[in-house]
Amino acid sequence: MYNQTKITMKKFKLIVSGAVAFACMALATSCSSNDEPVINGPEANEPVVEGVMPSVPVIRDLKLSGSQIIGVVTTHKLSVKLFNTVANNYDECITDEKRNMSVSPFSVSTLLSMSANCYDESTADAIVSAFGYQNIDEMNDAMAQINAFLMTNGNTGMDFKVSNSLWWRNEYRDHLDKDILKVLTSKYYTYNLGVDFMKDETIDDINTWVSDNTNKKILNFLNYFDDAEKLTVSNVNVNTVYVNSEWATKFDKAKTAEGTFHGEATDTKVDMMHGEIIAGYAKTDDYTCVRLPFAGFAAMTIVMPESASAEEFSKNFNVESLAATEDLHTYMVELSMPKFAIESTLKMPDNVLSETGLSLAGAKNMLFGDLLSDKNAPSNLQQKTSLTINEDGAEMAAATSLTIFGSDLDVMKFDSVKLDLDRPFIYFITEMRTGAILMAGRICNL
């Protein structure tokens, strides 16, 4: 067992800092810089090109205002609320006989931020307010910076890709609001294409786009529309997120061995990884928590309940619960952890979505000018996620759609602790600089 090791001070700070606190500090530091970000992407006055993926500007420093930082923090809190809401409405949202769950709050928030621009003022204002921004322009600018910053800021050891697309009904071409399209292109780098929803090939094209932008981790994303849906769908808005990240300290594959995972339904034999990891750690009467750092600026926080089931624990887990897990101390953790892969399909009807403070009930679609502005625009929000954890790191992907109808080295010494993750747990994978919750879920059975 090791007593000391070499780590970079930058990574050390990431390990011991909480996601929200670190994000606020990093954002504030970025905003105080006088260096202007380098913009190589589409300019606001450039024409919108149909069927072409816009370039993403290179942003080295975030230039967020104080109120935009409040929006980022509010969105983080809403992300935890989304996790909790899905857990409490599990049977309505997810079908999985193992009762496992995986959801990408970041993908949902990015899609709804983008889609707010397509809705009437009242619906858009409600979305903007729920995410903690003062107005839609402020939100659009923040999202433009954050997504470009995450994708282009040289996150060593991590591949990070966010993609947006808008598939609109070709028959409505003459009514398409070019100003909305320009915002989606310049702020969300959105691929747009007029399509024929009467043809099944359109769904094939959308699914191919999703597959291409998630390294083929999300396949067959959308089902074919039925005849009634083909006649009434006006547009499909899609967001994808793909992240492939190495652990800061990889597990030795030679040490991986069969072990027992004590699931909530039954014990199962699984491959257990073993390693000695410098990580944030805490143990209370209610749970054991460990934060495992990835290379770059992300971490996986795992919370293993002591007495409650992971299912019940996730239902009661909220913003205050997550804040409590930030009180971690750095240890050399002698860790055993299961390799696992999980896929989830999530559907969020409006009655569930409204529990998060977001609601699309009564929304009007403004994408096509006055053509549909006097009609309610019912919608379907769905998401598919994929997460693989192994000795090298994590590969995660998410696709979310809204179908709208009518380092310097220092020597540090750490105490040692042993942790066997052989029981059900919940997890959060967070981009530490922005606090964005990329993936959250629970493992009840393997």
Q: Are 241 and 104 in contact (CB under 8 A)?
A: yes
Helix axis angle for 105-116 and 178-188, nearest 10°, is: 150
| Residues linked to residue 342 through DSSP beta bridges, in sequence order | 387
Q: In terms of Cα–Cα distance, which of 102, 14, 19 is closest to 388?
A: 102
Q: What is the DSSP letter of 119?
A: B
Task: Describe the chain by its helix, strand, coil percentages, rounded to 5.
Answer: 35, 35, 35
| Residues linked to residue 400 through DSSP beta bridges, in sequence order | 239, 383
Report d(CA 205, CA 189) in Å as an integer: 19
Residue 256 has a pLDDT of 96
The set of residues, in sequence order, having a beta carbon less than 8 Å from that of 195 and lying 6+ positions away, is 167, 168, 169, 170, 202, 205
Residue recorded with tokens 């994000």: 23
Residue 379 has a pLDDT of 85
Report d(CA 247, CA 396) in Å as an integer: 13
Write out pLDDT tens, residues 102-155. 999 999 999 999 999 999 999 999 999 999 999 999 999 999 999 888 887 655
Q: Are 166 and 237 in contact (CB under 8 A)?
A: yes
Strand locations in 4-143 (E): 4-8, 101-103
Residue 408 has a pLDDT of 31
CATH class of 10-246+341-404: alpha beta
Q: Characterize the bridge pairing of strands 298-305 and 287-293.
A: antiparallel
Q: Checking phi first, is residue 184 left (phi over 0); if not, alpha (psi -120 to 50) or beta?
A: alpha
Residue 43 has a pLDDT of 53
Domain segments of the chain: what residues? 10-246+341-404, 247-340+409-443
The token pair at 407 is 């380092």
Q: Characterize the bridge pairing of strands 416-420 and 329-338.
A: parallel
Q: How many residues does the chain have?
A: 446
For the chain, which residues score pLDDT lower than 70?
A: 1-47, 153-157, 407-414
Chain centroid to Cα 12, Å, comes to: 24
Report d(CA 171, CA 222) in Å as an integer: 21
Fold of the domain spanning 247-340+409-443:
Alpha-1-antitrypsin; domain 1 (2.30.39)
